[in-house]
Amino acid sequence: MTETPKRATKAGHGADTIYWDPNKKSFVGAVSLGHAPNGKRRRPKVYGKTKTEVRNKIRDLKKEVQTGVKAPANYTVADAVNDWLERGLKGRDEKGTIGKNRSMANKHLIPFIGKAKLKELSADDVDDWLDDRAEFLATRSLRDLLAILRRSTAHAQRRDKAARNVALLVTAPEGRPGRPSKALNLEEAKAVLIAARPSRLYAYLVLSLLSGVRTEEARPLTWDHVFLETKGDVPPHVAVWRSVRKHGETKTRKSRRTIALPKQVVDVLEEHLRWQKQERASKGKEWDPTGRVFTTRTGEPLDAANVRRDFKAIVKKAGMKPEWTPRELRHSFVSLLSDHGIPLERIALLVGHSSQATTEAVYRKQLRPVITQGAEAMDEIFAEDQEEGSAEDQAEGDAVA
**Among all residues, which ones are annotated catalytic?**
214, 251, 330, 353, 363
* Cα angle 241-246-308, degrees, rounded to a multiple of 5: 80
Q: Which of 162, 170, 210, 225 is nearest to 378 (CA)?
A: 210
Rg from Cα positions in the chain? 32
Q: Residue 182: CB partners within 8 Å, gap ≥ 6?
A: 324, 328, 331
| Bridge partners, 301 (sequence order) | 295
H-helix or E-strand spanning residue 237: strand 237-240
Cβ count within 10 A of residue 290: 8
Q: Residue 200: CB partners within 8 Å, gap ≥ 6?
A: 297, 310
Asked if residues 272 and 295 have their Cβ atoms less than 8 Å apart, the reply is: no
Cβ count within 10 A of residue 133: 21
Q: Which of 57, 31, 34 is nearest to 44 (CA)?
A: 31
Asked if residues 144 and 104 have their Cβ atoms less than 8 Å apart, the reply is: yes
Q: Is 7 exposed, middle or buried (0-12, 13-18, 19+ CB in 10 A)?
A: exposed
Q: Which of 312, 323, 328, 333 is nearest to 195 (CA)?
A: 312
Q: What one-letter code names the amino acid at 11?
A: A
Asked if residues 378 and 262 have their Cβ atoms less than 8 Å apart, the reply is: yes
Asked if residues 58 and 105 have their Cβ atoms less than 8 Å apart, the reply is: no
| 347, HSE (Cβ side, Cα atoms, 13 Å) | 32
- Compute the distance between CA of residue 170 and CA of residue 154 in angstroms, rounded to an integer: 14
29 — alpha (psi -120 to 50), left (phi > 0) or beta?
beta
